[in-house]
Amino acid sequence: MTESYQLLRQARDLLQEEVRQLQETIESKQAKLDQLNRLVHGSATPSPKLTISEVIIQILQDSPTPLSAKEICSKVREMGVRQKATNPHNSILALLHHLKKHPDSQVCQDQDKRWYWKGAASDHQSPTDAND
């Protein structure tokens, strides 16, 4: 039984080493793919470490005019941000509402249900800010 146990441990150790090597290969290939994606998409592609919230904030800050949720969704998609949600539009809309409710947030919504970054441009300000 000791001999079979040693064989099983050796087999397990070999598999663990093979998995580790494959993971390293995947990581290096992913880094190369990310680099190529940045080259193909230009500087508009966010770093893979950006969260969807950060991407949405970046989109709102860069926009000279308020954007609808649909426009924000399409910009997120254009930037190549992956989402696990089955319905990305609803997910982004929920995230926008969450960002709007955050006490330190600059994310606002106007009367026409368009989203903007407070302070990005003075023309975004509406007399009655629809923050509710």
Same domain, 101 and 54: yes
**Has residue 129 been placed in a domain?**
no
Tally of structural domains, the chain: 2
The parent domain of residue 34 ranges over: 2-42
* 77-88 pLDDT tens trace: 888 777 777 788
pTM, whole model, 2 decimals?
A: 0.53
**Has residue 19 been placed in a domain?**
yes
Return d(Cα 32, Cα 30) in angstroms, integer.
5
Same domain, 64 and 101: yes
**Has residue 130 been placed in a domain?**
no
Q: DSSP secondary structure string, 73-90?
A: HHHHHHTT-----SSHHH
- How many other C-beta atoms are found inside a 10 Å radius of the C-beta of residue 81? 19
Total residues belonging to the chain: 132
* 50-104 pLDDT tens trace: 788 888 888 888 888 899 988 988 888 888 777 777 788 888 888 888 888 887 7
DSSP type of residue 107: E
SS3 state at 112: coil
Q: Cβ(69)–Cβ(90) under 8 Å?
A: no
**Has residue 131 been placed in a domain?**
no
**Has residue 10 been placed in a domain?**
yes
Same domain, 14 and 35: yes
